[in-house]
Structure 1
Amino acid sequence: MEAENFSKLLNEVVSNGKINFYYYSDPTSPNIELHHLAIPFPGELSPVDLPFRWHAEKPSEELVDAIWDDESHSWIENSDKSQPALIAKLQANNEAIQKKMESYEEDKAKDAEKNDKIVQALTGVQKGQAQTTAVLAQLVPMVQQLSKSVNTPDKPNEVDETKKEEGAE
């Protein structure tokens, strides 16, 4: 109950302009309370007069574990479980998935081109085989006729007859 009374009294004093709040930030501290500690101060300090790690700017209420970033000169989120941190992780994951999908689509297009080339090559082979089969179909009867004429002579060879006659004498 005393904390509530103190908080009310402090708010009254702050609203009257007698006390200003400054914010201390030690991002390296293992104590989370020291990452963004509100310090009431009677009076007003200029930015030049602020002690080390004291800041006049209040951290956003949306930040779960706010710390002061010296590079950006603003409060940033330190917790990886905060909504902004989770959104950043999801965006990074989404970008990675998008890259994988693009790579997959490219690979799929390349495979489709390869498949088209293979189909064209096989179609060419099939046409060649059909043409070869057609030519062989025309040649087979001719070869059969030739083999019949060689195997069954209609007339005896004249050289053979003269040999027989010479041998008979």
Structure 2
Amino acid sequence: MEAENFLDLLKQVVADGKISFYYYCDPTSPITALHHLEIPYPGELSPVDLPYRWHAEKPGEDLIDAVWDDDSHSWIENSDKSQPALIAKLQASNAAMQKKMENYEAAKIKGAQNNDKIVQALSGVQKGQAQTTAVLAQLVPMVQQLSKSVNTPDKPNAADETKKKEGAE
């Protein structure tokens, strides 16, 4: 029975020359062809009579992979090669680069602060070395005087003289 109805309908469409095109959209399908499938239909359907995911509005020619957006009630781009998708990728890339630059600047400032601390510590060490050198400069003459007094006797001992005399005899 359905085949007879279809044939009757087909004959009527061919006789009238009236075929309407509707567009089926399954945005979750991995098959891209089902994202915006053109369906010829004999006659016209009112927007209320359209089956689920059928749309009377044709997708724009500028859309590469059109899918129906229920929020805006229009066709939108689904392809990652479209201009809006490329712009979104560039914006995301730009945001990532900005974050990296901020991190780099923060690390640079922290490194400079660490360098300042190292310079302060080194200058403290240099001051300590200078003070140590000054103290050593004062001690060297005293040590030299002490070593002279130990190495060169001021007066000969009487025992030393006696030994010299006995050894001479």
For the criterion TM > 0.5, the same-fold answer is: yes
CA distance in 2, matches of 1:83, 1:31: 18
Residue identity opposite 2:47 in structure 1: S
Residue identity opposite 1:111 in structure 2: G
Confirm or deny: 8 A CA contact 2:32 2:65 kept in the other structure: no
Structure 1 residue 79, shift from structure 2 partner: 1.3
Confirm or deny: 8 A CA contact 2:68 2:74 kept in the other structure: yes
Structure 1 residue 109, shift from structure 2 partner: 1.3
> In structure 2, what is the equivalent of residue 137 of structure 1?
137
CA distance in 2, matches of 1:124, 1:78: 65
CA distance in 1, matches of 2:143, 2:83: 87
Q: CA-atom RMSD, angstroms?
A: 3.3
Confirm or deny: 8 A CA contact 2:59 2:66 kept in the other structure: yes
CA distance in 1, matches of 2:151, 2:122: 41
> In structure 2, what is the equivalent of residue 9 of structure 1?
none
CA distance in 2, matches of 1:71, 1:37: 20
> In structure 1, what is the equivalent of residue 15 of structure 2?
none
Q: Secondary structure at the match of 2:75?
A: strand
- List gaps (5 residues or longer) in structure 1: 1-17
Structure 1 residue 36, shift from structure 2 partner: 2.1
> In structure 1, what is the equivalent of residue 53 of structure 2?
53
Structure 1 residue 122, shift from structure 2 partner: 1.0
* TM-score (norm. length: structure 1): 0.67
Do the aligned partners of residues 126 and 50 (structure 1) sit closer, same or farther apart at CA in structure 2, a change above 3 Å counting? same
> In structure 2, what is the equivalent of residue 108 of structure 1?
108
CA distance in 1, matches of 2:94, 2:109: 22
Residue identity opposite 2:106 in structure 1: E
Structure 1 residue 113, shift from structure 2 partner: 1.2
User: Aligned residues: percent identity?
Assistant: 73
CA distance in 1, matches of 2:131, 2:30: 84
* TM-score (norm. length: structure 2): 0.67
> In structure 1, what is the equivalent of residue 6 of structure 2?
none
- List gaps (5 residues or longer) in structure 2: 1-17, 163-169
Residue identity opposite 1:123 in structure 2: S
Do the aligned partners of residues 35 and 128 (structure 1) sit closer, same or farther apart at CA in structure 2, a change above 3 Å counting? same
Confirm or deny: 8 A CA contact 2:66 2:76 kept in the other structure: yes
Deviations 1:32-71 (A, max 9, x none): 3x42245576445234x32021135554554321112457
